[in-house]
Amino acid sequence: MNKVHAYAAQEAGGKLNPFTYELPALGSEEVDIKIHYCGICHSDLSMIKNEWGMTQYPLVPGHEIVGEVIAVGSEVKNLKPGVLVGLGWNSASCMHCDQCMNGSHHLCSTVEGTIVGRHGGFADQVRGHWSWAIPLPEGIDLKKAGPLLCGGITVFNPIILAGVKATDRVGVIGIGGLGHMALKFLNKWGCEVIAFSSNPDKKEQILAMGATKVINSRNPKELESIAGSLDFILNTTNVSLDWNSYLTALAPQGKFHTVGAVLEPMAIPAFSLIMGEKTVGGSPLGSPALTRTMLEFCVRHDIYPMVEEFPMAEVNAALDHLESGKARYRIVLKV
C-alpha cells in the first residue's frame, strides 16, 4: 500500500489539515507522480467551499501539479519513472468517445477532475491517467510551471479557438491570475493588447507584462473610446459586467470569449451581435495535446506566471492570501 501525505478540508469552507490516505494498487493505465510544486487556483477555493455543489469531503485540493513520475501501470507506453510531468484540472478521460478520439479529451462527457471525487495535489503524491500526465519540455522552470497546467491552458485555448492572428487588436478583462497569463500569451502572439482593469495600482505592472494600453473598466468613457476596434476580447473575471459595452468595443466579426465562470446569466442584447456579425463563446481548459503545445510556446518565449511561493505546510496562509485578492499573481506551494 502506498501512503499519501496530504492536506484536506473536512467540511465546506473548513481549514486544511494534515491528512493521510492510502492508494490502492496502480491501474494498468495509471501513473503515480511525486509532487514537487502545486499551484493554487480560484477553483480550489470554490471546491473547498462547495460553491459548485460537487465537492466530496475530505477534499484534498490542488490541480496545478508539477512532479516526477514514480510508477507506471503495465499498459503505459509513453512515460516511465523519472520523467517530469504536469497534471492539471483533469486526470482521466474515457479515451474512446468522439471527443477523446478527436483529441478534445477535455470535452469528454466522463472526463474526471483531479479534485472531483478524488484527491489532488496539496500532497506529496498524486495519481492520474497517463493521457493527462503531460511531459514537461526541457528547460521549463518547474517553480513557475504549475499554474500553466490549469490557468495557463484555460486562457491559451481561447486564442486557438478564436483563431486570433498576430495582426489582431485584442482585449483582456481582469488582470489577475488568469488575465496576466493571457496578456503574456497575446503579447508574444504579436497582438496589440488592451488590458481592462479596475485596479489603477496594477497599471505599471500590467504594461510591463506586455499590454499596450490599460483601460479603467470602471470608466465608461474610456470603454467608449475604443468602440468598434477589438477583434477578440477574453473575459477572465467571474462577476457580472456591462457585457454590452464590451460587445460595442468589438470590431465587426469580433469574438467575445469568457473563461470566467459568471454564476448569473449573462444578458446579451441580440442586436449587438447581429449588426456586426459578432459571436460570444466560452471554453473550459484545453486538450492534452494543446497543453503540450502551450508549454513549448512558454519555453520558447519565456512566458511564465508571476508567482509567490509558499511551503505546502503553510497552505492555509496561502489560501487566505489568495482569497484576500492580494496574490501577485499566482501562488505556488512547494512540497
Question: Which one of the spans 8-16, 102-110, 177-185, 301-309 is the region binding Zn ion (CB under 5 A)?
Answer: 102-110
Angle 9-86-151 from CA coordinates, rounded to 5°: 70
Chosen residue from 150, 294, 319, 327 binding Zn ion by CB under 5 A: 150
The rounded distance, in Å, linking the Cα atoms of 327 and 202 is 12
Least CB distance from residue 69 to Zn ion, whole Å? 22
Question: Which one of the spans 87-95, 215-223, 232-240, 243-251 is the region binding Zn ion (CB under 5 A)?
Answer: 87-95
Residue closer to Zn ion by CB (options 87, 173) is 87
Least CB distance from residue 41 to Zn ion, whole Å? 3
How many residues in total does the chain contain?
Answer: 335
Residues 6+ apart with CB under 8 A from 245: 220, 223, 224
Residue 161 in contact with Zn ion, rule: CB under 5 A = no
Residue closer to Zn ion by CB (options 87, 100) is 100
Least CB distance from residue 153 to Zn ion, whole Å? 9
Residue closer to Zn ion by CB (options 56, 279) is 56
Give the residue among 127, 22, 114, 14 at the shortest CA–CA distance from 62.
114
| H or E element in which residue 102 lies | helix 98-102
Chosen residue from 9, 33, 43, 172 binding Zn ion by CB under 5 A: 43
* Cell matching residue 100: 477523446
Least CB distance from residue 204 to Zn ion, whole Å? 27
Residue 115 in contact with Zn ion, rule: CB under 5 A = no
The rounded distance, in Å, linking the Cα atoms of 165 and 103 is 23
CB 313 within 8 A of CB 335: no
Residue 93 in contact with Zn ion, rule: CB under 5 A = yes
Interface with Zn ion: number of residues (CB under 5 A): 8
Residue 94 in contact with Zn ion, rule: CB under 5 A = yes
Residue closer to Zn ion by CB (options 194, 319) is 319
Residue 149 in contact with Zn ion, rule: CB under 5 A = no
Chosen residue from 38, 108, 215, 298 binding Zn ion by CB under 5 A: 108
Angle 249-253-259 from CA coordinates, rounded to 5°: 65
Give the residue among 306, 302, 46 at the shortest CA–CA distance from 202.
306
Residue 65 in contact with Zn ion, rule: CB under 5 A = no
According to DSSP, residue 131 is labeled: G
According to DSSP, residue 1 is labeled: -
Residue 45 in contact with Zn ion, rule: CB under 5 A = no
Residue 41 in contact with Zn ion, rule: CB under 5 A = yes
Chosen residue from 23, 45, 83, 97 binding Zn ion by CB under 5 A: 97
The rounded distance, in Å, linking the Cα atoms of 145 and 122 is 16
Residues 6+ apart with CB under 8 A from 248: 223, 224, 227, 228, 272
Contacts with Zn ion, residue ranges (CB under 5 A)? 41, 43, 93-94, 97, 100, 108, 150
